[in-house]
Amino acid sequence: MTTTAIINLDLPGPIISRHVYGHFAEHLGRCVYGGFWVGEDAKVPNVRGIRADVVEALRALRIPNLRWPGGCFADTYHWRDGVGPREHRPRMVNSHWGDVVEDNSFGTHEFLDLCELLGAQPYVSGNVGSGSVREMAEWVEYLTRAGDSPMAALRRAHGRDKPWRVPFWGIGNEAWGCGGNMRAEHYASLARHYSTFVRDQGDNKVYRIAVGPSDGDYAWTETMMRSFDDLAADPVAPAAPFQALSLHYYTMTGSWSDKGAATRFTEDEWYVALSRASLMEEYLTRHSTVMDRYDPHRKVGLVVDEWGTWWNVEPGTNPGFLYQQNTLRDALVAAVHFDAFHRHADRVVMANIAQTINVLQAVLLTDPDSGALVRTPTYHVFEMSTGHHDAASLDVHLRDVPTVESDGRELGLVSVTASTKDDGALVSLANLDIGSPAEVVLDLRGRTAQCRGARILTAPTPASHNTPHSPSAVAPAGFDGVREHPRGLLVELPPHSYLTAELQLT
């Protein structure tokens, strides 16, 4: 069967925000300590305690934003514990993740230093669960206020004269769960209350992100949207008091008690994982439909600030550290998510993979013994997709897509999205079939196009993954299987593969 992808090159749609390629760093396992942060006295090359090779690898992804300090950790984190001289910072117990002692050596200044090194915009998650309105308001002032004020003076006393730009602020995290086990109505009132005191300071304009639903909890979305003033009355008036809702969804093949293995899986589990990853499309569609009832002008954004695969931890590792390997299957899960974000570019304004280093679907792994840095297959999907950043989405209409029944749903085995910027276009194609190639005709309309080059990500087996001893077992390579066709281009995709093709438009 030949699949046809009809792409109208002359009809650009909503802009795909670069922020849907965002990242997430929680004080969890070896994400911060041993991942980003090694300390100034470490043997690993570092810049003021931050791993230099991590910064280099993430800058190659053009990382647009970084969410911190959690996650569940955020609602136990008190920011004053992480400022000032490190030797005077109090210690605490990280009760959510491994019951280990947190020494607060990586705090506000270290995080903002990291963001500046990365060229990424900070996304700070504030503490609603165990904090106070005053604590959050003072943190905003500490970070972003110039001139003379108590918190600006405290920041200067800690060595930073100039305020930082902090454009994104989370009003708590998972209020329906680890952030307080709240009912939607109660949290909706708290979100309005806290958001009121997350104030713009000078020219720092804050985009406030309230806790939205998990998975398919449409009732939570309904309650949060009802808490707004009349959004339909004025198509240009800003949404107040917060500007977006979050959405969390994780892909696993089993249950919360047994999520499935990262590298040892059957063909059936391959398809179950991709079928469940494709649920993101359904969740975005249905949550957007609820939001449209109250916000037809789409002034309120949807921020998918936790997504990714969640497998059982690797044998022999701390179960509270959530360390897992990352295979070609994870890479295709990422591709499925990005395609969904592209198709919903008019509502999805940001997304954050969980998490950047050594935790869950990480893009980087660091080896505690050798100190080696490993780029995972998921990393390469991010890197291959940088051409979509801030490009205009293009509608893609698929015909004759092969399917398979999995997990009670019909899973399409070919996924295609496209975007355009200047006189170029980028087309992403994924073949989710574990064992069969796919032939795809790109029916290009509205403008003529030539393929400037293509790259492919695949490997001999679906469970292939990268390690310190084999760091390039799964890595992108040049691809010559894109050929001219009377209707545009013909692409021959190997099994279990992801491909990007750059087009020159005339």
- Which entry of 174, 222, 281, 484 is annotated as an active-site residue? 174
Specify the higher pLDDT residue, 374 or 96: 374
Q: What is the pLDDT of residue 228?
A: 85
Please tell me whether residues 22 and 87 are part of one structural domain.
Answer: yes
Please tell me whether residues 384 and 399 are part of one structural domain.
Answer: no
444, amino acid identity? L
CATH at 91? 3.20.20.80
Pseudo-torsion of CA 86, 90, 91, 95, nearest 10°? -120
Please tell me whether residues 192 and 260 are part of one structural domain.
Answer: yes
Q: If you average pLDDT over every residue of the chain, what do you get? A: 96
Please tell me whether residues 480 and 356 are part of one structural domain.
Answer: no
Please tell me whether residues 237 and 336 are part of one structural domain.
Answer: yes
Q: How do residues 272-292 score in pLDDT, each as one tens digit? A: 999 999 999 999 999 999 999
Contact 253, 265 (CB under 8 A): yes
Q: What is the pLDDT of residue 47?
A: 97
Residue 132 pLDDT > 80: yes
With cut-offs at 50, 70 and 90, classify the pLDDT of residue 49: very high
Please tell me whether residues 353 and 219 are part of one structural domain.
Answer: yes
Please tell me whether residues 272 and 358 are part of one structural domain.
Answer: yes
Residue finishing a domain among 356, 389, 422: 389
Return the HEC string of 227-268.
Answer: CCCCCCCCCCCCCCCCCEEEEEEEECCCCCCCCCCCCCCCHH
Domain span at 463:
2-9+394-505
- Which entry of 102, 141, 306, 383 is annotated as an active-site residue? 306
Contact 94, 81 (CB under 8 A): no
- The DSSP call for residue 425 is E
Label the pairing between strands 409-412 and 65-68: unpaired
174 catalytic, yes or no?
yes
Contact 228, 295 (CB under 8 A): yes
Please tell me whether residues 379 and 448 are part of one structural domain.
Answer: no
CATH at 463? 2.60.40.1180
d(CA 439, CA 73) in angstroms, rounded, equals 46
Q: How do residues 332-382 score in pLDDT, each as one tens digit? A: 999 999 999 999 999 999 999 999 999 999 999 999 988 999 999 999 999
d(CA 468, CA 474) in angstroms, rounded, equals 12
Please tell me whether residues 176 and 228 are part of one structural domain.
Answer: yes
Q: What is the pLDDT of residue 236?
A: 67
Residue finishing a domain among 364, 389, 414: 389
Please tell me whether residues 85 and 168 are part of one structural domain.
Answer: yes
d(CA 348, CA 325) in angstroms, rounded, equals 28
Please tell me whether residues 125 and 45 are part of one structural domain.
Answer: yes
Instruction: Give me the mean pLDDT over the 400-426 stretch.
Output: 97
Number of domains in the chain: 2
382 Cβ contact partners less than 8 Å away, ≥ 6 residues apart: 21, 61, 334, 363
Beta strands in 106-204 (DSSP E): 121-126, 168-171
484 catalytic, yes or no?
no
Q: What is the pLDDT of residue 229?
A: 74
Residue finishing a domain among 389, 413, 429: 389
Please tell me whether residues 273 and 165 are part of one structural domain.
Answer: yes
Using alpha carbons only, give the angle 72, 75, 76 rounded to the nearest 5 degrees: 100
Q: What is the pLDDT of residue 1?
A: 86
CA pseudo-torsion sign 51, 53, 58, 62 = positive
